């Protein structure tokens, strides 16, 4: 239990600090005053002041904040025009400061992936075996075929084939593959396997890639790309109502997942290390993408107002923007409560 809590705090701490540090670094570079840099939410456990910035650690390890002077009226008195206030910075300075948070999440994901690929088995999407009487055999696929794309989406790693199959839920798939240097196309419909309880193509990959030279950079990029595509498709399925309640996890659910992975791999410190790296990469990509959505209170929502200012040549009245972001904030607080109870329900009543 203690190990799970510590790992959860470590994983979320790295992701949150990376995101907020992106905002912090660009704010400082643009001369914007940072009022508070905090990790966590809720009551403050520890804090100290350095120059104009308060640094704090809060009770709940599920978020963070980098608050700027003058942002949404923060520390901005009527008629006061501090040169370091957020609204007084140039529009491009504010855009770069807002974008820096999600950008640093993607940078973190790439760095973590670069470390991770040195320790994991990397498999390219090359078929080494085709199962008898399977969908793949019926579609004409053979050992040695390299899968190029699935339904038009390019594939660079074998794991992408597995993830695609899980999300496709048995629907027909157009497979483009390479055989003897020539591209071919076929259509297959995955078959449900009672033994494994899921739809399967009927292909096996027993090969792995040995990294040489700068290969790590390429495969780290492929890992991040795979995480981005998975996140994007998961969001699309969530919006379309194709994701079951039990498949949605918030902070409590993620803590439970971290605990389950730790219990399964605790006998091998290296497996624990690699799995935590993978979770950090995936969650960092998730946070980066979610924060770029054009929703009030998120970085993407703030970017919408900044882009409107760029087009109009003048900002949206601060009081109006503040109200919209406040509504977004209230919405997310309600959503957090709903997700919390969903996590509890999944943990105790769905097993």
pLDDT at 243: 66
Active-site residue, 247 included: no
What's residue 113's pLDDT?
Answer: 96
- pLDDT at site 265: 86
Residue 113 CB neighbour total at 10 angstroms? 29
What's the DSSP call for residue 293? Answer: S
Tell me 88's DSSP state: G
- Could you tell me the CA-to-CA distances from 180 to 140, 143, 146, 188, 206 in Å, in that order? 15, 11, 9, 21, 20
Tens digit of each residue's pLDDT (9 = 90 or more) over 133-162: 899 999 999 999 999 999 999 999 999 998
pLDDT tens digits for range 67-91: 998 886 555 544 455 788 898 999 9
Identify the structural domains of the chain with CATH numbers, from first to last. 2-118+283-349 (no CATH), 123-208 (2.30.42.10)
Kindly state the average pLDDT of the residues 36-56: 92
pLDDT in tens, 285-316: 999 999 999 998 899 999 999 999 999 989 88
pLDDT in tens, 239-270: 777 766 666 666 767 777 888 888 888 888 89
- What are the distances in angstroms from CA 60 to CA 90, 144, 180? 34, 51, 56
Q: Mean pLDDT across the chain, nearest whole number? A: 88
Rounded Cα gap, residues 211 and 125, in angstroms = 16
Instruction: Calculate mean pLDDT across residues 48-72.
Output: 88
| pLDDT on residue 346 | 67
CB contact at 8 A, 201 and 188: yes
Specify the DSSP class assigned to residue 126: B
The pTM score is 0.88
* pLDDT given for residue 83 in this prediction: 81
Other CB atoms within 10 A of residue 220 CB: 21
Which secondary-structure segment (H or E) carries 257? helix 251-265
Which residues, 6+ apart, have CB-to-CB distance to 350 below 8 Å? Answer: 246
Helices (H), 117-214: 135-138, 158-168
Region for 284 from its dihedrals, namely left if φ exceeds 0, alpha if ψ lies in -120 to 50, beta otherwise: alpha
């Amino acid at each position: 239990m203690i190990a799970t809590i510590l790992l959860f705090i470590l994983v979320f701490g790295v992701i949150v600090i990376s995101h907020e540090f992106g905002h912090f670094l660009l704010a400082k570079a643009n001369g914007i005053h940072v009022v508070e840099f905090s990790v966590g939410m809720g009551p403050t456990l520890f804090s100290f002041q350095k120059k104009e910035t308060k640094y704090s650690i809060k009770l709940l390890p599920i978020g963070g904040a980098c608050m700027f002077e003058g942002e949404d009226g923060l520390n901005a008195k009527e008629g006061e025009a501090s040169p370091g206030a957020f609204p007084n910075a140039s529009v491009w300075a504010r855009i770069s400061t807002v974008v820096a948070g999600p950008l640093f999440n993607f940078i973190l994901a790439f760095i973590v992936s670069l470390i991770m690929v040195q320790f994991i088995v990397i498999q390219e999407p090359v078929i080494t075996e085709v199962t008898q009487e399977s969908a793949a055999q019926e579609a004409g696929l053979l050992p040695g075929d390299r899968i190029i794309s699935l339904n038009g989406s390019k594939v660079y790693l074998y794991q992408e084939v597995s993830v695609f199959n899980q999300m496709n839920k048995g629907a027909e798939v157009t497979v483009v593959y390479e055989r003897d240097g020539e591209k071919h196309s076929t259509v297959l419909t995955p078959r449900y396997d009672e033994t494994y309880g899921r739809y399967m193509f009927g292909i096996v990959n027993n090969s792995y890639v040995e990294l040489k030279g700068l290969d790590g950079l390429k495969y780290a990029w492929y890992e991040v790309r795979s995480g981005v595509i998975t996140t994007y498709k998961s969001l699309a399925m969530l919006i379309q109502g194709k994701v079951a309640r039990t498949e949605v996890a918030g902070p409590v659910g993620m803590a439970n997942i971290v605990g389950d992975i730790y219990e399964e791999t605790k006998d091998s410190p290296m497996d624990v290390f690699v799995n935590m790296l993978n979770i950090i990469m995936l969650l960092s990509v998730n946070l980066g993408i979610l924060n770029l959505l054009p929703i009030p209170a998120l970085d993407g929502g703030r970017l919408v107002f900044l882009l409107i200012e760029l087009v109009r040549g003048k900002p949206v009245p601060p009081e109006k923007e503040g109200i919209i972001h406040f509504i977004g904030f209230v919405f997310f607080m309600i959503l957090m409560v709903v997700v919390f109870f969903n996590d509890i329900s999944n943990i105790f009543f769905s097993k």
